[in-house]
Amino acid sequence: MIPLSPRLLTCAGMVQGRTVCDIGTDHAYLPVWLIMNGRADRVIATDVREGPLRAAKETLKRFGVSNRIALCLSDGFERIDPSGLTDAVIAGMGGETIRDILAAPAAAFLQNGVNLILQPMTKAEVLRIWLAENGFAVTKETAVKDSRVYTVMQAHGTGERHPLSAAESYIGKLQRSDPLTALYASGVLKRLGSKAAGLAASGSTEEAAEIRRQITEIQNLLNINAEKEEPESL
């Protein structure tokens, strides 16, 4: 059986339909896993470079699934036929790159009921803000420990746009009762703390104060939600 990293296993667990597009497939491990485990009938595996697609082709041959997975050289969704597509996975990229793929004209069809599974390696807050401001709702978010703690998001187009607070953009819909959320949040707070210290050292006191305000907002959000998620005592 093909091995999947914890990140990709979590992505696989969020697939809902039977026709999946995997953007930036690399070696096509996720598409092969979906087919071999009966989680999809058909997968389109894309990459923007020919090298990964050559590697993906070898993976398909090795596991005997070449007739179930279509390989496509494509920049995002540019060369994808959306007919019948139920799910789209974009994993292993920076949040800004995922945002740009979703913002491209070729991705406009995603608003029409496609189940989005997104796994940013960096700048998850940038992606969350874009989704909220462009009519997508994150319905589920899970922290997963791989080389470090990442987040995997499930989102759908709703057409409703709304702003996020700073804390919401950094923590999203992660379950506060999950111990991995605490590890994820710790990394976020450490990164923001370093940024604030750097700004203060360079004399940018107002910017540093704003980052510290965001840190306090995140801490307050975590505490409030932790209290909400605590089970009532009997």
Q: How many domains does the chain have?
A: 2
Write out pLDDT tens, residues 49-106: 999 999 999 999 999 999 999 999 999 999 999 999 999 999 999 999 999 999 999 9
168 domain residue, yes or no: no
* Model pLDDT, residue 222: 87
On average, the pLDDT of the chain sits at 93
Binned at pLDDT 50, 70 and 90, residue 231 comes out as very low
Assess whether 75 and 154 both reside in one domain. yes
Domain that holds residue 213: 179-229
Q: How far apart are CA 97 and CA 75, in angstroms?
A: 11
Same domain flag for 37 and 103: yes
> What pLDDT shows up at residue 176?
85
Whether pLDDT at 223 is above 90: no
Average pLDDT over residues 1-22: 95
As a whole number, mean pLDDT of residues 163-174 equals 95
Query: Span 14-41, mean pLDDT?
Result: 97
194 shares a domain with 134: no
Phi-psi bin for 39: left (phi > 0), alpha (psi -120 to 50), beta?
alpha
What CATH number did the domain enclosing 33 receive?
3.40.50.150
User: What stretch of H or E contains 11?
Assistant: helix 6-13
Question: Is there a domain that residue 234 lies in?
Answer: no
> At 234, is the pLDDT very low, low, confident or very high (cuts 50, 70, 90)?
very low
Same domain, 91 and 136: yes
The answer to whether residues 76 and 49 touch, using CB atoms and an 8 Å cutoff, is: no
User: What's the rounded mean pLDDT across residues 175-194?
Assistant: 93
pTM of the model: 0.92
Pair (129, 183) in one structural domain: no
Is 166 domain-assigned?
Answer: no
**pLDDT score at 228:** 52
71 CB-side CA count, 13 A: 24
Mean pLDDT calculated for residue range 4-24? 97
Residue 150 belongs to a domain: yes
Residue 57 counted as domain residue: yes
Same domain assignment for residues 156 and 183: no
User: 101-132: per-residue pLDDT in tens?
Assistant: 999 999 999 999 999 999 999 999 999 999 99
Q: Give a yes or no: residue 78 inside a domain.
A: yes
154: which strand partners? 117, 140
